[in-house]
Amino acid sequence: MPATPAWPPDSTPRLFVETPLAPDVRVTLDGPQAHYLLSVMRVKDGDPVRLFDDASGEWLARAEAVRKRDLILAVTERLREREAVPDLWLCIAPTKKGRIDWTIEKACELGVDRILPVVTRRTVVDRLNLDRLRAHAIEAAEQCGRTALPALAEPVKLAHLLRDWPEGRTLFFADETGGVPATAAMRDHAGPGAILIGPEGGFDAEERAAIRAHPHAVGIALGPRILRAETAAAAAVALWMAAAGDW
């Protein structure tokens, strides 16, 4: 007896929408999202589309009133609940446009819950376009199947991040000058975690001392080579996900 094919098929387009989703809700799409569905995915009347809203999980919707540049999606049923996101923050000194975009995309795919841009003395980026970074996170979530977007915080100065650090959350400080091997440190410090990555020019001596003096900070080493900030971020998050996350 051939197995019944899964519905909706894996090829079904998947979009994030701001509209709170529920049965019978209708979402009108125009602009880039409509272009993607109509011109790229060739969606026709009655075709399925998966939607998520970062709050209520993933829903099945059907295309209706399809026109050249817009369409309506009629929500029918919930396919799955919003997932439980591993409790990991990524605190990162913003790097140049393109590189920070890549970092946001990888942090989303890898399962990070919250991303905090941290301003340090050697941070080269003075203005961060959070809307652009959020768009990268949304695109990554649509592609990788997340139903929960990573939260993207406003940039914060390193001194304020340390001052306001929450009780009960370990701050794994990626320190290329020496630290505990990351996997051992992450295994020994279960529970809510955060990874701190410095800028292209690294932390200065005073910053490094302030971080190391923090009661919740644990210096971690990511091997014998100097990694680019975005490489260090992806590597450290992957190690945490394997040691204490949902991998």
Closest to ligand SAM by CB, 52 vs 172, is 172
Closest CB 210 distance from ligand SAM, rounded Å? 14
Q: Mask: binding to ligand SAM, 172-211, rule CB under 6 A, as x and -?
A: --xxx--------------------xx-xxxx--------
What the block records as the tokens of 165 is: 């650090």
* # residues contacting ligand SAM (CB under 6 A): 18
Closest CB 235 distance from ligand SAM, rounded Å? 8
Instruction: Write the burial class of residue 221 (CB in 10 Å: 0-12 exposed, 13-18 middle, 19+ buried).
Output: middle
Closest to ligand SAM by CB, 63 vs 220, is 220
Closest to ligand SAM by CB, 20 vs 201, is 201
Residues from 212 through 241 that contact ligand SAM (CB under 6 A): 221-223, 225-229, 232
Closest CB 196 distance from ligand SAM, rounded Å? 7
Residues from 25 through 44 that contact ligand SAM (CB under 6 A): none
- Write a three-state SS string for the chain: CCCCCCCCCCCCCEEECCCCCCCCCEEEECHHHHHHHHHHCCCCCCCEEEEECCCCCEEEEEEECCCCCCEEEEEEEEEECCCCCCCEEEEECCCCCCHHHHHHHHHHHHCCCEEEEEECCCCCCCCCCHHHHHHHHHHHHHHHCCCCCCEECCCEEHHHHHHCCCCCCEEEEECCCCCEEHHHHHHHCCCCEEEEECCCCCCCHHHHHHHHCCCCEEEEECCCCCCCHHHHHHHHHHHHHHHHCCC
Closest CB 247 distance from ligand SAM, rounded Å? 20
Closest CB 151 distance from ligand SAM, rounded Å? 21
Residues from 119 through 178 that contact ligand SAM (CB under 6 A): 174-176
Closest CB 114 distance from ligand SAM, rounded Å? 18
Closest to ligand SAM by CB, 13 vs 198, is 198
Closest to ligand SAM by CB, 42 vs 225, is 225
User: What is the spatial distance between Cα 207 and Cα 203, in angstroms, rounded to a whole number?
Assistant: 6
Q: Which residue is nearest to ligand SAM (CB)?
A: 198
Interacting residues with ligand SAM (CB under 6 A): 174-176, 197-198, 200-203, 221-223, 225-229, 232
